[in-house]
Structure 1
């Protein structure tokens, strides 16, 4: 036993220096090397993680850029996708600009069939009864990436408050997010002057004007052959958009044919969000809520100066259905707007239009109940519209014998008592 111990341990008992020299590789060098390699691996993993996050962010931005702009150099300045607030003054270029274009304000003279910045074939958008430029915002039609777009462009006469309102509205619309039956927000240009909001253009523009064109016997277009099934289909699309807004805690407050845009395939998209934004801005500022839209479409609780709610949108939706089945007649045409609330308080309702089926009029009636609690919910409304679409007449074209009288319409709709009816 003594001999074996001596062979395995060459150091004498108590010789510490010999013991350290003998075991220094196992006790000092190996742990030191292990610690060094551990630190190197941790540093490498940290660098890889940082680079990965950077590449991921770049990929996300590039993906969004390619989805909005198929070629380089389309939009100048920042383009605000959903969730990005342009008021944060954080510039996010969506495309690499090869050549910086001069910052100059566009005037109507410069935008007649010409080119403004990255937009081609810019022309003034023709005004209609439902779509009008305001004192501060001009509307133009243009081409961008081989598609038709509408430009909401701040005018030179706009002041600082107008610009804040313009940017606030674009931020509000961007924050709502995309939906198949809301017009697509394609970009917001704020880094150059003037600020521009870029929206998709829908071929038939506002639904009210489209319905009126369908009345004309000389208007030769098969797309204008509105049937009751078409009414159900388009109404379902608008209801879907309205339900989505409600899930975003946004009450529209201006549901009417003038606030619906129609595409070439008769797809209906809900717009007219100015009323919702005004209430949003006034609520943030602590101010009262003004009622600026046409009264013939408003629910009784709105007429009596109470709050807006999703149920008040349901009431207005019933008025929209009435417009669609009558090819653009205003609801309660026989009354003055000032008489409407008293008329409703007496328990009176809309009269059933000629040519309106019982199923469709039942939906109109369920939307226009005096008590908000008795009105149909959005989920039930959409289900009823989908059921009606399956059984509706898709062959008989809706016809109205009476030609359109614009002056008469303005009086019956109560335009003289409204402050603002522009939807864009």
Structure 2
């Protein structure tokens, strides 16, 4: 009652045209609530602007944005440095000289005397670490001399670059040999320049091989050669064998594609480009600076979720598409930056005219959205074996158009420079 009398007194003291009386009566509703709403709006607006600016900065800092994506810093099933620990040379060494002395002892069984290497070097290309050469290694018996590839570390090299180069050699020593992985035949690390001695796969990468198969006549070692559906399965089974070998060591590849497979004249396939596997094994994570072409990545990778072997299975389906189309870029009608939205709508690539229904069914099983619903490596290998028994080995795969590398790179979301490499072990 006291409050009502006080309010009545206030109203009696005001004229009817005096708006301050109304404001005084309803000051909570008229002033305080709108002020709170405006303040909340400004805070939300500030957060949105901050997120937008941070997103723009992230895009500017990510190389290859138009067709490749940064790989999240995750490891297989959360395992850090699985089975084997760090492959880097111990950090207690403080100079390159002491580092080389320590590593040469650790890599004693791999050392190749430099005098066995021919001085005639044919440069293949420039790799990320330095030049890559093709040359001859002599063993004292001319009949046993062989062509090898030397991967050299650039000079001068910083301490951490020397350490990383030696770590990659040790990683291959840890992996051991497999018929479908590029083999490390030795090294020269007692002094600079440092070399990895690799087996030579003269035919080069599978993508370039497929492009050559588009010609009417193809020759290898003077013999006419074409590729059939049965041979696609033959190459595919070898890639799966290499992936199973990595999985047994708690590793995954991370970038399965025709450009990362080397092919020999007898159609022996050699999986290469093991940089992601090396990073996960040595550091427990993938470098945030590393980018992978978007069109080969599984949805979980595009969403920056943890990488694993199921992502390799998705990419294997893309590899089958590459082989049966003789090196066509995946999703040719979709811009690389729109691939995630395309997949989120439940769309997959249509069956190429050169692709059998059996092979297309295998591809689609690899492209299931949920990782758990995709086949395992063993199941996939079994299905490929079954399909190969009835596959056509007479009809040659044919694609009339020759490839323009610049156009392919634009559609695939890959730089032309990355297409020109013919040898990449790590």
How is 1:336-375 mapped onto 2 (pairs within 5 angstroms)?
336-375=335-374
* CA-to-aligned-CA distance 1:86-127 (integer Å, 9 cap, x gap): 836251644999xxx8xxxxxxxxxxxxxx642126423434
CA RMSD of aligned residues (A): 2.8
Q: TM-score, normalised by structure 1?
A: 0.69
Residue of structure 1 in register with 2:201 after alignment: 202
State how far apart, in whole Å, the 2-side matches of 1:307 and 1:159 are: 32
State how far apart, in whole Å, the 1-side matches of 2:111 and 2:136 are: 20
Residue of structure 2 in register with 1:249 after alignment: 250
How is 1:79-118 mapped onto 2 (pairs within 5 angstroms)?
87=89, 89=102, 91=105, 93-94=108-109, 117-118=115-116
| Number of equivalenced pairs | 319
Indicate which of 124, 127, 136 corresponds to 1:133: 127
Q: TM-score, normalised by structure 2?
A: 0.69
* CA-to-aligned-CA distance 1:258-297 (integer Å, 9 cap, x gap): 111111211111111012223444426xx86455121111
State how far apart, in whole Å, the 1-side matches of 2:347 and 2:191 are: 54
Residue of structure 2 in register with 1:311 after alignment: 310
How is 1:258-269 mapped onto 2 (pairs within 5 angstroms)?
258-269=259-270
Structure 2: gaps spanning 5 or more residues: 1-83, 91-101, 140-144
Deviates more, 1:249-258 or 1:158-167: 158-167
User: Structure 1's 421 and 281: CA in aligned 2 closer, same or farther, altered over 3 A?
Assistant: farther
State how far apart, in whole Å, the 2-side matches of 1:253 and 1:95 are: 27
How is 1:23-422 mapped onto 2 (pairs within 5 angstroms)?
87=89, 89=102, 91=105, 93-94=108-109, 117-120=115-118, 122-127=120-125, 132-134=126-128, 136-144=129-137, 145=139, 146-217=145-216, 219-221=218-220, 222=223, 224-283=225-284, 289-416=288-415
SS in 2 for 1:87: coil
State how far apart, in whole Å, the 1-side matches of 2:377 and 2:348 are: 21
User: Structure 1's 122 and 281: CA in aligned 2 closer, same or farther, altered over 3 A?
Assistant: farther
User: Structure 1's 418 and 200: CA in aligned 2 closer, same or farther, altered over 3 A?
Assistant: closer
State how far apart, in whole Å, the 1-side matches of 2:261 and 2:331 are: 20
State how far apart, in whole Å, the 2-side matches of 1:227 and 1:325 are: 9
| Alignment check: 8 A CA contact 1:292 1:419 kept | no
State how far apart, in whole Å, the 2-side matches of 1:355 and 1:407 are: 24
Q: CA deviation at 1:220?
A: 3.6
| Alignment check: 8 A CA contact 1:83 1:174 kept | no
Structure 1: gaps spanning 5 or more residues: 1-81, 102-115
Residue of structure 1 in register with 2:58 after alignment: none
Which structure's CA Rg is the greater one?
Answer: 1
Residue of structure 2 in register with 1:22 after alignment: none
